[in-house]
Structure 1
């Protein structure tokens, strides 16, 4: 066992835990929902920039980028570029619109306009995305620690998840945001110090990968390649973890500025692990102290970053690398569990089942949800055999299902619950029928160009399904509105009250804590035609 490395990791975990508990005291002094979920909207540019960046740069982002760069080349390493562009688009267009309305979660506008239960239904893709995301980052840490410290990867995953769950349990967003500051510094310092040593190792000869480090895009995969890029870009926008930080910013300007700064820094932090992945691919492992199987078997390919840290850098640098990856894991793991738990507590438990719940009751529901979601992500991580696959998969349903829903509720005033449900079920069901190799789900729909040997869909089916969902929302919303407005269908049959969903009211008109009125089919209210709204 690597005793110095183990001691360093223990010290790091204790430090993060202490910081999380310290700042969690701010939450304990306030019983308000805004203190726990959006830190009393007190985050300035510096802290919000740090926490948004740390949320995006997780273990899956770092380890997954190294994995793909090593074995498939830079051109195939799509996630860093895609998520960076998504953060820029989100910062310019989506963040100001959401923050200006003063929502508490990303799902508030859906429940305000479409109804509590319909809005709650949209949480399912978010839940699955958060679980895959947290699993990918915990699996990344398990791989790193098991190789460098020579301890069981399952034990590493369990301990890391427990630390993240504990301080998130105590402090909510205050703890998460301020620990993110320290974690991001550790990520930047650890990775920046490590990659020059890996490149300078005598066993590394870049000429071995001179024809492969760039990667290629086979002609038959060009449309699938574009499809994944679009998924990474737009599937990276509708995340509660991202909007939780945006909504916690002091004002709209801070929300936009911190998002744009975070996009630049997140992209920069992908460069060191990509270089280390390429260094690992260029190494003659027989010239290192590694005595395992060469070439690496498929189940070892996701370990290329910890392998490079362990065998191509000095021990002190490797220990710093562990700190970087540990920081990346916890900075995103805490974001995932808090994101999921926030929506479960407010949009599901309070708004649907217990509108009269006290603040103390909600606080304990949040804490229980944090534990449950954290344990679920931990279990997926333990039984998963791919980091990058989980990392990409987490954006899948967000792109196919949630991206058109969020976009249209913000920019299409006539969207209504009929359109929402039609688009939701069309996108969700067709996505399941399209299959998913990472989950071992065989396809029931075979699109043009289907490769029976690999089981991969070469058709850009994700983008196709996203557009199908968008079209359904638009057409069904406009058609249902026209039919009821013209009374071609009598208005008494408008069970979802689409004629009363023309606008989302401002926060000062409706108390977001209870989502009044209590009519499940219509949380929107009829406003005077002259009333102003940024969404009209």
Structure 2
């Protein structure tokens, strides 16, 4: 395929603009000289509702979100497009049930409450599923952009993915959350404008039948009763698996106040749903188009081109100038989520792995400067792993869903218990971590690879029950001296003044805010 030079120039200009804004935000916040973890990770807890809503919405509305939405509407039908509504509800639930508890205690990352209550080992162990989710999330985002640039500009998929990751990495390393938040404002505007500009042109193309015609059943889709269990499983996965993400809690913990933290969650949930509308419409257009009448040259989009659905709509159903605007929207969506995922994973590593291990060895916490530099090295590693994963995916949408599997089954029960179950302890947490991910997945329909039984939800419930049951059982054994406390390997039941003071502070703070 011949490289589209004007399009390539336009995307280079866009990348330069985003990079300049990111660097400007870093200089404005004096990040180049002030290596404070509070500034780098949490923007000095200064986010207001406006910036908070923009950065939270832009983080969720990534390349996987819009490309995946168009893909699944076009090929499976609107009824199977669960991600936009599911993740919107998850943001609202996060604000409703978790934001106040997290913000009022002054935690720095999502893993902090686990470290505080379950100890060093469990804290480091829970970093593994959190990191895995971030890498899958980033990979789905980068894959969406790589596919789009390949179709529209004719450049190599590998080059598109790597260059996009490097640009996001550069300004994230320089400016931390300040750069991410300020670039998110510009990126969200680009996403909104770019997608809506493409909608009328694609809907009125001569090869497209009106989406309200008799063929509307094609893109509306159908839900077979045999798949109800699978359908419900995905809903619960998206809603509750969308809560334990460092991206959300980084913004909640960076808010000026608890009220701001809750409001940005509610408002962002609404705007995430709104931002999916143009992607849904272009999915409907793709399903209503006779692709033989376009330069694509096939009656319908080929199975191997499913991930390219949005890119194909932009390229073959829109004028060239509009295509480039749409490409800017996809690029902005990718940048806004990639930078957030890279920053989130690296912050957790620096704060909850490096600092913990350093403290164990040296018996003192590492300096703030060293933590920031470790975070920057971790950002490079996370970006590299995400790029490697992005180059091997087959479906953007299902990679988009897969990133929540580990989070839903492992981290959601842990988050609920650490914040709501007073007697939860390290023993329950460890057993839950072991049991949840390794439950057998039964209910596979004969002759297919589709899982009909809601096995993820079953695994999550069993993991939750295991954590609570083992915690109460061990509490009973040790507090009643049935088992001597010398066998309390994690020190859950020893008199720990610091832990009791921390718990008292957490409880008192929550009561004062309430």
TM-score normalised by the chain length of structure 1: 0.90
- 2:447, 2:41 → 1: CA distance? 47
Q: Deviations over 1:271-309 (max 9, x none)?
A: 101110110111111222323x44332110111101001
1:337 and 2:342 matched: yes
CA displacement 1:509-528 (0-9 Å, x = unmatched): xxxxxxxx9xxxx9734679
Aligned residue among 257, 275, 279 for 2:285: 279
Pick the aligned partner of 1:466 from 456, 460, 468: 460
Using the alignment, how far apart are the partners of 2:372 and 2:447 within structure 1?
Answer: 51
Tell me which residue corresponds to 2:26: 24
Superposition pairs of residues 117-196 of structure 1, within 5 angstroms = 117-196=121-200
> Is the contact between residue 138 and residue 338 of structure 2 (CA under 8 Å) also seen in structure 1?
yes
Give SS of 1:211's match.
helix
Whether 2:235 is the aligned partner of 1:242: answer no
Q: 1:532 to 1:399 in 2, by over 3 A?
A: closer
Mapped partners of 2:403, 2:412: distance in 1: 13
Q: Which moved more, 1:123-132 or 1:23-32?
A: 23-32
Q: Which runs of 5+ in 1 are unaligned?
A: 435-446, 502-516
What's 2:426 paired with?
A: 417
CA distance in 2, matches of 1:18, 1:277: 33
Relative to its length, the structure with more helix (as a share) is 2
SS of the equivalent of 1:466 reads helix
Aligned partners of 2:41 and 2:250 also within 8 Å: yes
Equivalent pairs counted in the alignment come to 501
The alignment's C-alpha RMSD in Å is 1.8
Q: 1:210 maps to what in 2?
A: 216
Change (3 A) 1:271 1:529: closer
List aligned pairs for 1:9-408, cutoff 5 A. Answer: 9-25=11-27, 26=29, 27-205=31-209, 206=211, 207=213, 209-291=215-297, 293-354=298-359, 355-408=364-417
CA contact (8 A) 1:413 1:535 kept: no
Instruction: Render the CA deviation track for 1:388-437: whole Å, top value 9, x for unaligned.
Output: 1110001111111100100111011111111111111101222xx53xxx
Q: Given the superposition, is the C-alpha separation of residues 50 and 529 from structure 1 closer, same or farther in structure 2, using an over 3 Å criterion?
A: closer
Distance in 1, Cα, partners of 2:494 & 2:264:
36
Q: 1:126-155: CA deviations, max 9, x gaps?
A: 111001000000000011111111111211
Instruction: Give the Cα separation in 2 of the matches to 1:40 and 1:398.
Output: 27
Q: Would the alpha carbon gap of residues 418 and 534 (structure 1) be closer, same or farther in structure 2, given more than 3 Å must change?
A: farther
Distance in 2 separating the partners of 1:531 and 1:144: 47
For residues 91 and 317 of structure 2, what CA distance do their matches in structure 1 show? 33
1:249–1:531 Cα change, 3 Å: closer
Once the two structures are superposed, residues 67-110 of structure 1 have per-residue CA deviations (whole angstroms, 9 ceiling, x without a partner) of 00001111100101100110110011111111111111000010
Looking at structure 2, the residues matched to 535 and 187 of structure 1 have their Cα atoms a distance apart, in angstroms, of 38
CA contact (8 A) 1:114 1:524 kept: no
Structure 2: distance between partners of 1:500 and 1:167: 46
Q: Please give the alpha-carbon distance, in whole angstroms, between the structure 1 residues aligned to 2:41 and 2:314.
A: 37
Other structure's SS at 1:394 match: helix
User: What CA distance in whole angstroms lies between the structure 1 residues aligned with 2:498 and 2:395?
Assistant: 42
SS of 2:499's equivalent in the other structure is: coil
Contact 1:235 1:396 (8 Å CA) reproduced = yes
